[in-house]
Amino acid sequence: MGIDLSQQKYQITDLLGKEFTCACGKKHSSAIEQIIIENGALNRVPELLSTYGYKKVLLVTDHNCYRVAGQKVERLLASSDLKWKVMVYKRDGDLVPDERAIGELFVQVEPDTQVLLGVGSGVINDLVKYVGSRLNLPSFIVATAPSMDGYASDTSSLTLNWLKTTVTVRTPQVIIGDLDVLKQAPVEMMQAGLGDMIGKFSSLRDWKLAHLITDEYYCEFVAELVRRSVQKCTERINDLNNREDTAVKNLMEGLVISGIAMSFVRNSRPASGAEHHISHFWEMSAMESGKKAVFHGIKVGIGAIITHRLGSILYGRKIDFAAVKEKILKFDEEKWKEEIIKLYKRSAPDILRQKEENDSFSVVKHANRLKKIEEKWDRIRELLTAAPNGEQIETLLKTVGAPTNPLDIQVDRELVYNGIIYAKEIRSRYTILRLLWDLGLLEEMAAEITSCFLKNTGSDN
Ligand SMILES: [Zn+2]
Ligand SMILES: [Zn+2]
């Protein structure tokens, strides 16, 4: 193995630029060439572009990020020898990475453009990586907030045909995080970054569950890499409130490492499980009803409280496997389809097709999984009781003032309940939600968790 994680001293740069054979049997590598997270890093943008021999740059940003950093980068480009063009997305509401936004960016790329330079966070990063990949152009990203873990990933999260979709793309060639910019990010964005990281406890547990129950590929090295990056973020969590350089740097590095971990296994498995599916479900519902979007990581953090509470309840249950086997035969697929059409609206056809292709409700497959679950029940229970539990996750999020109750982010009782039951349909990925479904406990536990959030606020509606 090329990198020893037990050495606390390993640097992000140790993860770049080389391919190594891992104990999991795969070769891991990241195509990112440089990651620079330091004070004043913006000033290095022109020099970095020139180092790679680029002469013509398309700077892509949105209205806010232009003000925060884009304008300064533009000035730096203007005083260099580089040729550049600026594209600023203009929207009244949120910029959505959909067909319209993709098309707008395509049109701005000129024949002599050699590199796309994104200045922004989540959506800008997704768009720049995606369009760059489609046009076979490299991308640089200047991060404006430590708000999500997608900077280094080889995927873009897009909204195509109203469905949240993950598309494989080229990772950026260079990631630049100027601490002087990052630490000025709005507090909600810092909370979101931390929420996205804390969600990894849930994603990693789901990955291991999938490995145990469905034999899905699993890499302990990558899991450990993500675990340590979460640790890094939470170590100085109190200093994050004071926006101290080291705490902001740790958070940004943790987010970037999580992205590298995803590119190591070529999918988002190590960093996205049921907590993300719940967040996506809420987001799609908000989009359908035209509500203002809440930052991804804020929802993911609350999603993780839910999935870990579910884990604790399941841990305490005595499972009668014989009774569950009986119950399998009673699943009402038609009723389920009706609910999907009602809840997912425009994205329902895609989901139904996906289920058809994967033969998701096969009684035989279900019975096989149950057999595995029964065989490995002790090992599964160990995973369910491993720290942190829902309360500990809640405490971590509260340390930075992040919301911890769905009601705080306009997710009502019905949406919490439906999210727990139907979020698993967004991806064909095994998670705790599918485990609960396999055990015939999903609806009952969804009701239990939903009422427990309402109790917390003392609300009765
Ligand atoms: Zn591996
Ligand atoms: Zn995420």
Three-state secondary structure readout of 256-283: HHHHHHHHHHCCCHHHCCHHHHHHHHHH
Closest CA to 148 of 173, 126, 171: 126
For the sheet with 83-89, list strands across it. 34-38, 174-178, 139-143, 115-120, 56-62, 83-89
Q: Which bound ligand lies closest to the C-alpha atom of 217?
A: 1
Give the 3-state secondary structure of residue 291. Answer: coil
Distance of CA 196 to the CA centre of its chain: 6
Tell me the C-alpha to C-alpha distance, in Å, between residue 226 and each of 8, 127, 156, 201, 307: 14, 25, 19, 9, 18
Looking at the CA of 255, name the nearest ligand: 2
Ligand with minimal distance to 279 CA: 2
Residues 6+ apart with CB under 8 A from 276: 199, 203, 268, 300, 303
What residues pair up with 340 in beta bridges, in sequence order? Answer: none
Residue type, 426: I
Asked if 139 and 170 touch (Cβ cutoff 8 Å), the reply is yes
Which ligand is closest in space to the CA of residue 155? 2
- H or E element that contains 116: strand 115-120
Distance CA(122)–CA(259), nearest Å, equals: 12
- pLDDT tens, position by position, 348-393: 888 788 777 777 778 888 889 999 999 999 999 999 999 899 999 9
| C-alpha 311 to ligand 2 mean position (Å) | 20
Cβ–Cβ under 8 Å, residues 121 and 65 = yes
**Cβ proximity of 26 and 19 under 8 Å:** no
Cα 299 to ligand 2 centre (Å)? 9
Domains in the chain: ranges and CATH: 31-185 (3.40.50.1970), 207-457 (1.20.1090.10)
pLDDT (0 to 100) of residue 456: 59
Dig out the tokens for 368 from the structure.
């096989």
Q: Ligand 2 being an ion, which residues bring their Cβ within 5 A of it?
A: 196
For residue 364, the tally of other CB atoms under 10 A from its CB is: 8
Burial class (CB in 10 A: 0-12, 13-18, 19+), 316: exposed
Q: Which ligand is nearest to the CA of 277?
A: 2
DSSP-derived letter for residue 178 is E
- Indicate which ligand has the atom closest to the C-alpha of 299: 2
**Using an 8 Å Cβ cutoff, are 304 and 202 in contact?**
yes
pLDDT tens-digit profile, the chain (461 residues)? 466 776 556 778 888 888 889 999 999 999 999 999 999 999 999 999 999 999 999 999 999 999 999 999 999 999 999 999 999 999 988 899 999 999 999 999 999 999 999 999 999 999 999 999 999 999 999 999 999 999 998 999 999 887 778 899 999 999 999 999 999 999 999 999 999 999 999 999 999 999 999 999 999 999 999 999 998 888 889 999 999 999 999 999 999 999 999 989 988 899 999 999 999 999 888 877 777 779 999 999 999 999 999 999 999 999 999 999 888 777 778 888 888 888 877 778 887 887 777 777 788 888 899 999 999 999 999 999 998 999 999 999 999 999 999 999 999 999 999 999 999 888 789 999 999 999 999 999 999 999 988 765 544 44
The rounded Å distance from CA 193 to ligand 1 centre is 25
Q: What is the pLDDT of residue 291?
A: 78
